[in-house]
Structure 1
Amino acid sequence: MGESLKHTAVKGVSWSFADNIANSGITFLVGLVLARLLTPEEYGIMAMIAIFIAISNSIIDSGFSNALIRKTNVKRIDYNTVFYFNLVVGTAIYILLYLVAPLISDFFKEPLLVPVTRVIGLTLIINALAIIQRTIMVKEIDFKTQMKVSLIASLTSGGIGIGMAFYGCGVWSLVGQQVSRQLVNTFFLWFYSCWRPALEFSIDSFKKLFGFGSKLLLSGLIDTVYKNIYYIVIGRFYSSVQLGQYTRAEQFNTIFSSNLTSVVQRVSYPVLSSIQNEDERLREAYRKIIKVTMLVTFACMLGLAAVAKPLIIILIGIKWIPAVYFLQIICFAGMLYPLHAINLNILQVKGRSDLFLKLELIKKIIAIAPIVIGIFYGINYMLWGSVCISFISYFLNSHYSAVLIKYPTKNQLKDIFPTFLISLFVAAFMWSISLMDISVYLILPIQIIAGTLLAFCIYQKVKLPEYLEIRELVSSALKKKINY
């Protein structure tokens, strides 16, 4: 990886990580407080409409963001065309969601879903207003500004959510938190961005961008439905309480898996897109990204599974204990998410959104099996099925990246296996500590300290290149801070 490209990537990762910490990290901490004040049932009600909001946001974007990021010579009219399309579609979908709210309520047998859906649906229009500003910042790898916006939005919305929960607003505390976060986020994206819409629209620009983006839209819709289908299955065939327990497990998983995936995806896509026509350089950059990313991911996800029980009991209380086993299973599926994202980024970088769509169709057809099993045999079987699907999906994803940049799956596995083995050994050691008959308030710090020291000693001994790369980056960053 060239020095300038490496510098851009490192800077992008640093600020993107800070952005995610500001956004998801603060939201997670706020969630800990809310989990103490609210019940699993109230979280379950919010989860019931998650799939409808997620699908709507995918349709509004329609793959245009990725199409704009990939395009090397974007004109003003391209941005304006996408902006007005997003706004019109966002408004239309909100009206539709407003009208079908009673049907959603009847499906889940939850009357409160009617007003909740109609209010939370406003975030669709609010979000559509800021998609272009966010896209421009991603394209320019300006995650510093996004971090500022996320910090302000997360703190403001968190304060509103906690305040409402404290005064007994129940599920409306979660609604208030989400709506206020989107409002503040959109306001400050406009405030910090120089771009403003002009009254122009190009059919030709729309067709070219949609030609690439439409396949990503379909792929995104399929993936969104799959990621949220468990909410529908659990909410419809079980109970809002069990759904609430599952969502809390998902939120603990998100703080590592989804955030790592988001950081890697957001930064690697524009960086790799900038060298899309230099195959050898692209392959080497891609290989380094995979090795460094998976060292961090395996350590975080397997470590999280090891400390799940004392962590949940300490942070949100004994009433959430059923979420422990859910979280441990989810961690094994989630540890491969960043790897999926990087492999799929190669398809987009190479302009093969057709293969992207084909892969999503194949993977989701296979994924139907554990969902059906979950309906008839229970949530745990469904989640273990998702772990199997995650591994199968990796082999499917990596097949095409192997062809496009000549980096075979076996070479990828060879590159990441040492870090997986080390992380698995460290996690097993950490988990064994949880078997000790002492207070969870002692077990958790012992697990974390012992696991960290053991991992550090092993990596210092074996000196893997990816570990040395991370150590160098951390050391450089600390020196700059000290000198500053």
Structure 2
Amino acid sequence: MSNTSLKSRATKGIIWSTIDKFAVQFGQFTVSIVLARILMPEDFGLIGMLAIFIAIAQTFIESGLGTGLIQRQERTDVDFSTLFVFNLAVSTVFYFILFISAPIIASFFKQPLLIDLLRVLGLNLFLIAFTIVQRTKLTIILDFKSIAKSNVVGVVFGGFCGVIAAINGYGVWSLVFQILVGSLASCISLWYLSAWNPSFVFSKKSFNSLFGYGSKLLIAGLYAQLLNNVYHIFLGKFYPPGLLGYYTRAKNFADVSAGTISSVLQQVTFPILASIQKDKEKVVSIYSKMIRLSAFIIIPLMTLIALLAKPIVIVLLTDKWISLIPLLQWMVFSRIFLPMSVINLNLLNAIGRSDLFLKVDLSKFPITVIAMIITIPLGVKAIIIGHVITSAIFFIINAYLPGKFYGYGPMHQFKDMLPIVGITSLMAILVFLFTIMIQSLVLQLVLGIILGLVSYLLICWLVKLKEFTESWELVSNMLNDYFARK
């Protein structure tokens, strides 16, 4: 593939993946604000108790096989059909497991309502299984435009049904309706846009080949989901549902920004890096640039959210969520290394080293256990502060092997981030001094965002920050590509 062709495909991929993720996250964020104003923290806490069980089942359904197909240089229709049949079979097995174990889970949390909630919410597993092949095929050809359309359709329909249900007094069931209707709408849209029909052929040879690569990702995925959601179990067991509701809201708020950027990077960089995995010089060039650009965006963004946490929470969610403010301020900093960590781990998958991906993930287990033992008895705030510390340690671990292979390790990456940290600190001082002089929370929020963005970009321009220039070039290419199609 030529450099020009790769650059064009990468640019288009970034355009549509960015549109997809930000449109979806903005839509979900808007819906979540409306729902949070209507519902109570306890409603979100009940769904949070079920998060780990749904997440683990979903990880088994995906199993890393779709990623294995993307990483392959050659694929056949038999490979795709094998993946489809496997997804359906696993989703059926795990729905049955969730169905019969629902009373046990409800008894553990002492919340009888969880029985019906889990049995209905578990239907989403089938909808997920029906979309994996379609998403995989579209990702391989970098057709993120179709993926974006289907995701937006899901957000619109799911959000509409969820809000209508909440207004009509359905409580926690509003969140279930939102998820199921959104997944169904997205599923139908993907099948229409992908124009792929399964042949229901299952090849043992194809499965063994895919599973050889995907099995490591499956184990790593299960481990990651366990780490991401294990706190829900302890908070749901030993604390009131409302406290878990605050925790999940803080996590969701932080993930709107960091999670969106990470999703864009993961979706776009993996197929691109996989396609050039044998060209070390080109891999290093794209890999290092993505690390710097992600830091350029995420560090000031998360800092700004922390500075404006009070007006964000009170203006958007009302006073009943005021306890969320300190949790949100700490949670955003626990996500500040997430995009860079995603790129580092993505590189290992792209070059076919899913075994190393697994080893890197498993190496974090002792640190996580220690953090849990220390922080869980101390409360939610202590847990989130523990997230901040462990996320920094995990970033160093994630960057070690890619750095060893390509000469761009954690210290080099930290060095590249220092100018961004310095400029962000200046921006933070300006915003803090400005907002303390304003009484209105609405004005603090609006003017704080404007001042933060303008001052950050202006300082970057004045000091001629390389990442600012590269970002401007990327935006220019995106605009030129857009108007060229008009």
- Cross-structure match for 1:159: 160
Q: Cα 1:432–1:239, aligned 2, differ >3 Å: closer, same or farther?
A: farther
Q: Cα 1:289–1:362, aligned 2, differ >3 Å: closer, same or farther?
A: same
Distance of 1:479 and 1:273 partners within structure 2: 27
Distance of 1:219 and 1:480 partners within structure 2: 37
What is the identity percentage for the equivalent residue pairs of Structure 1 and Structure 2? Answer: 38
Deviation of 1:258 after TM superposition, in Å, equals: 0.5
Deviation of 1:476 after TM superposition, in Å, equals: 4.2
Distance of 1:332 and 1:431 partners within structure 2: 17
What is the SS of the residue equivalent to 1:367? helix
- Cross-structure match for 1:262: 263
Q: 2:11·2:478 contact (CA, 8 Å) conserved in 1?
A: no
- Cross-structure match for 1:249: 250
Query: Any residues of structure 2 matched to 1:14-413 within 5 Å, and which?
Result: 14-413=15-414
Q: 2:258·2:335 contact (CA, 8 Å) conserved in 1?
A: yes
Q: Cα 1:436–1:106, aligned 2, differ >3 Å: closer, same or farther?
A: farther
What is the SS of the residue equivalent to 2:295? helix
Deviation of 1:387 after TM superposition, in Å, equals: 0.9
Q: Cα 1:226–1:428, aligned 2, differ >3 Å: closer, same or farther?
A: farther
Distance of 2:50 and 2:417 partners within structure 1: 37
Deviation of 1:201 after TM superposition, in Å, equals: 1.2
Deviation of 1:377 after TM superposition, in Å, equals: 1.4
Aligned amino acid, residue 414 of structure 2: L
Q: Cα 1:102–1:141, aligned 2, differ >3 Å: closer, same or farther?
A: same
Q: TM-score, normalised by structure 2?
A: 0.97
Q: Cα 1:477–1:202, aligned 2, differ >3 Å: closer, same or farther?
A: closer
Q: 2:85·2:200 contact (CA, 8 Å) conserved in 1?
A: no
Distance of 1:334 and 1:471 partners within structure 2: 25
- Superposed CA deviations along residues 384-407 of structure 1, whole A, max 9, x for unmatched, are 111111111111111100122222
Q: TM-score, normalised by structure 1?
A: 0.97
13-22 or 54-63, which moves further after superposition? 13-22
Q: 2:294·2:339 contact (CA, 8 Å) conserved in 1?
A: yes
What is the SS of the residue equivalent to 1:92? helix
Give the gaps of 5 or more residues in structure 2: none
Distance of 2:477 and 2:262 partners within structure 1: 24
Deviation of 1:478 after TM superposition, in Å, equals: 4.1
Distance of 1:157 and 1:381 partners within structure 2: 34
Distance of 1:476 and 1:129 partners within structure 2: 35
Q: 1:237·1:375 contact (CA, 8 Å) conserved in 2?
A: no
Deviation of 1:482 after TM superposition, in Å, equals: 6.3
Give the gaps of 5 or more residues in structure 1: none
Q: Cα 1:457–1:294, aligned 2, differ >3 Å: closer, same or farther?
A: same
Moved over 6 A (4+): none
Distance of 1:476 and 1:218 partners within structure 2: 39
Aligned amino acid, residue 43 of structure 2: E
RMSD over equivalenced CA pairs, Å = 1.5
- Superposed CA deviations along residues 40-89 of structure 1, whole A, max 9, x for unmatched, are 00111111101111111001111111101100101111111111111000
- Superposed CA deviations along residues 67-121 of structure 1, whole A, max 9, x for unmatched, are 0110010111111111111100001000000000011101111111000000000
Distance of 1:84 and 1:152 partners within structure 2: 26
Deviation of 1:374 after TM superposition, in Å, equals: 2.7
Give the length in aligned residue pairs: 484
Aligned amino acid, residue 36 of structure 1: R
Aligned amino acid, residue 379 of structure 1: V
Distance of 2:453 and 2:407 partners within structure 1: 35
Distance of 2:157 and 2:253 partners within structure 1: 21
Distance of 1:401 and 1:286 partners within structure 2: 10
